[in-house]
Structure 1
């Protein structure tokens, strides 16, 4: 039997490498020792093994010998041993030849090993840094809720609003992190294993179907809100350009209060009416939007619209600048206004909105799976939610504090509080119009995919056009008869939030703990309380007076 060769400790320390992939090259048939030399060294080590432990131990000599050979075998099979008492040994065994010269250290093995090492050191281009991941989450969460946040603060009252934003942010952050933990333990190892797949694995097909249904509700609500915004932006943008040269009226204010029939606090300013039988904000313009948008919904490849994703970040940045500039110009006005608000009475309006404003749970696994440093997912997700929270407070809270008219004048779309000819408002509407028109086909595509999953029909061109027609029809009806985006957002957020934010993450975590034998009464009560919060949030929406 051929004996195994070893290097001395000094040679080993000089020839060691950090990469485990380099061991393949060192298992080639080459060595500096001959078989005889190594066998003699092994006998010498065996004689020196008779330590005080073996002499004074109650183990018999056979046991000591067995322990020695087990130790030597482990050293030979492990190129590096982390134990400080173990001598690292490189192993090189061949059964094909007794020739052990350096000539058999083949160039192909060297090149293959070098290639593996280089591939390991190269970063995966599909991965992204923590900074990119943080801003991806921030940009994904940000949406139309920015325009309605000040209205939500007005309905809840400033002190209650600040507390609610903090609580909802913490709850949504925790349940999103729970989904990441459950996916790490029970996911299939693929980034495409989102919430419905986890529900199928841990809770069964019924839970998977429920997850798909409520994803459908979220997407339907988003489609309706986007359609109303497109209608609004198109209406005022066209009026702005038409009236740019023909209108000679001087406006002594840039603020409006549409809710009070022309009464702007202490000012009485008539709100201009540009409606005609052929051009109405809640009559014909939603139909004109269909003429523009419907052809875009039938593109075979919607990936073209993803090229405009940067507009989302640009729009959010512009809205922040817009609010800051207007607020600085107004100054603080919260103490000079009469108390016409109802603090805390309609707090559920804001909580329902926030359930959708912080909603990212249906795609959070995919986003965080692209993070290059998976061990930092919890930290990066926390930073992203903090940024989102600060953005909402900045837009909603600062606008509310500085708004110079009665706080009840704040609209669920803050741009409606500004006169059409205000330059910054006109630029905001044009920018947001282009952004929403390019985002809408993507949202409609996701809605269509969810619908096809639930329908017992095979995907084909006819089915695609039929679903798109149904989506457009519902959006037109909503834009004509229920154009209040704040109401749609709060109901959609409360319904979908109960399932995707509160219930499913809690149930998945409870099931995961149960399978691992770590479920306790305290943990069960905690997750039941989270589900109860979502249920209360939904029920309270039906007691709000519009």
Structure 2
């Protein structure tokens, strides 16, 4: 359950993050961030047990923050929790727009028997890999096909009404906004298995593609040339920002572990889940980076969503987009429900005070998603900014401060423990600041 919940959209940006950090430093950072976030998550799980003389069995982590930091802890934890939820929903909207656009494009070309020849720079052959970023600013949206004269009028009309950033994000409103306004989205929880199927299929896709493409690695430790990036790059904080959200489950881990029959196994189960998540991220990130064909392309061509490196007429990528589209359309209402419960219950004491309140909140959330899909459809940037922001509080600051305060009150605080946890807090702060500098 924890692995399935933690595995999300971040997996699509891990190869891009490794490119930004450099191959060797990318692997090291995934391992170190996995260990660090696991430790901080462990501190969250144990945070209720170190509170003396109070029954905390029904407490969530925001309740623990309120106990230690008063109303500031209560409201700040709510703020950062909303940032993580809304940030995830914005990323979902951008990705759903992407997947819906490419799915519609594939179906249109297939139905109308359009001969698709991507003029975006790429490799040749049946397992083609493209470099969309190389053509940005040179090719108009949707101009990656060559078709017969009979299809010109129809394709021009299709191109006008089926645009990745200008029209498709708005089409999703008709489907998803009514879902968000349901009092209980429990129906969509039944489709949770789609998340596991999607991740398993992505691993399968990556394996098959790598088997056909082969390995393309050349170790240039500090210099950069036309086809390879150095093993260590100053842009590495972009990967740490992505990884903060990729390993983020701290605001709901207590709730998830409450369902365990044997509570004494919580730490073991949490460690296994983090190990599996880290292994999945490593496998997908390393394989995509290593097999990306350079030459003839450059590793710089790896997109923030690695599926964008495969053309719209690629069958395996088409199936992956279908899986992910349906998965996200079922998870999106659940995220909206969590945001509604946390925010409206805090302000009005009721998760559904009225249809007007719920509709106003959902319109704001949907509007943020549409705006991002329209003007800033960069999922890597959205993930790292939101991950570093909410991670500062829930991953680095609150777990460390709560542990230090509890040790101090019990008279057990030592200098090594104090220095270690101050260092963790400073790492989180540096992680957030670096996102805006690089």
Q: Output the TM-score relative to the length of structure 1.
A: 0.71
Structure 2 counterparts to residues 508-519 of structure 1, below 5 A: 508-519=402-413
Greater RCO (Cα-Cα under 8 Å, separation 6 or more):
2
* 1:429 equivalenced with 2:309 (yes/no): no
- Aligned partner (choices 523, 527, 534) of residue 417 of structure 2: 523
- Pairs aligned (count): 403
Counterpart-to-counterpart distance in 2, 1:330 and 1:316: 21
Aligned mates of 1:437, 1:221 — CA distance in 2: 16
Question: Is 2:341 the counterpart of 1:341?
Answer: no
Q: How far apart in 1 are the matches of 2:311 and 2:88?
A: 27
> What is the match of residue 256 of structure 1?
130
Unpaired segments ≥5 residues, structure 1 = 1-135, 264-269
Q: Report runs of 4+ in structure 1 exceeding 6 Å deviation.
A: none
| Match in the other structure for 2:386 | 492
Task: Confirm or deny: 8 A CA contact 1:183 1:365 kept in the other structure.
Answer: no
Highest CA radius of gyration, 1 or 2? Answer: 1
Distance 1:278 1:197, change over 3 A: same
1:316 corresponds to: 199
1:174, distance to aligned residue in structure 2 (A): 0.4
Per-residue displacement from partner, 1:77-102 (whole Å, max 9, x unpaired)? xxxxxxxxxxxxxxxxxxxxxxxxxx
Question: How many angstroms apart in 2 are the aligned matches of 1:229 and 1:191?
Answer: 38
Residue of structure 1 in register with 2:359 after alignment: 465
Q: Identify the residue that residue 84 of structure 2 maps to in structure 1.
A: 218
1:192, 1:366 within 8 Å by CA — same for their partners in 2?
Answer: no
Contact 2:115–2:145 at 8 Å: present in 1 too? Answer: no
Q: CA deviation at 1:338?
A: 4.5
* 1:247, distance to aligned residue in structure 2 (A): 3.0
Q: Provide the C-alpha distance between the structure 1 equivalents of 2:3 and 2:290, rounded to a whole number of angstroms.
A: 24
Tell me if 1:229 matches 2:95.
yes
Q: Which position in structure 1 is the counterpart of 2:150?
A: none
Distance in 2, matches of 1:525 and 1:532, equals: 10
Match of 1:271 among 138, 144, 153: 144
Which residue matches 1:184? 49
Aligned 8 A contact 2:404 2:418 in 1: yes
SS at 1:185 equivalent: coil
- Distance in structure 2 (CA, Å) of the matches to 1:167 and 1:204: 32
State the shift of 1:523 in Å: 1.2
- CA shift for structure 1 position 304: 0.7
1:536 counterpart residue number: 430
Aligned to 1:124: none
- Residues 1:191 and 1:279: Cα distance change in structure 2 (over 3 Å): farther
Mapping 1:391-402, distance limit 5 Å: 391-402=280-291
The answer for the alignment partner of 2:303 in structure 1 is 411
Aligned CA RMSD, in angstroms, stands at 2.0
Between the aligned partners of 1:157 and 1:198, the Cα distance in structure 2 is 39
The question of whether the paired residues in 1 share the 8 Å contact of 2:218 and 2:228 is answered with no
**Aligned residue among 154, 166, 172 for 2:37:** 172
Equivalent residue, structure 2, for 1:357: 246
Deviates more, 1:362-371 or 1:317-326: 362-371
Q: Which moved more, 1:427-436 or 1:506-515?
A: 506-515
Give the structure-2-normalised TM-score.
0.88
Distance 2:329 2:434 in 1: 33
CA distance in 2, matches of 1:247, 1:349: 41
Does structure 1 residue 445 correspond to structure 2 residue 337?
yes
Tell me, in whole angstroms, the C-alpha distance in 1 between the residues paired with 2:251 and 2:358. 23
C-alpha contact 2:49 2:56 (8 A) present in aligned 1: no
CA distance in 2, matches of 1:302, 1:357: 24
User: Does structure 2 conserve the Cα–Cα contact (< 8 Å) formed by 1:202 and 1:512?
Assistant: no
Contact 1:156 1:345 in 2 (8 A): yes
Aligned to 2:261: 372
Query: How far has the Cα of 1:137 moved from its partner?
Result: 1.2
Deviation string 1:390-431 (CA, Å, 9 cap, x unpaired) is: 100000111100111311111111111111111111111111
Alignment partner, residue 290 of structure 1:
173
Deviation at residue 246 of structure 1 after TM alignment: 1.7
Q: For residues 207-233 of structure 1, what are the alpha-carbon distances to aligned partners after superposition, in whole Å with 9 as ceiling and x for unaligned?
A: 121111100111110110000111111
Q: Which ranges in structure 2 are unaligned for 5 or more consecutive residues?
A: 118-123, 138-142, 147-154, 220-224
In structure 2, the residue corresponding to 1:344 is in which secondary structure?
coil
Q: Say whether 1:140 aligns with 2:5.
A: yes
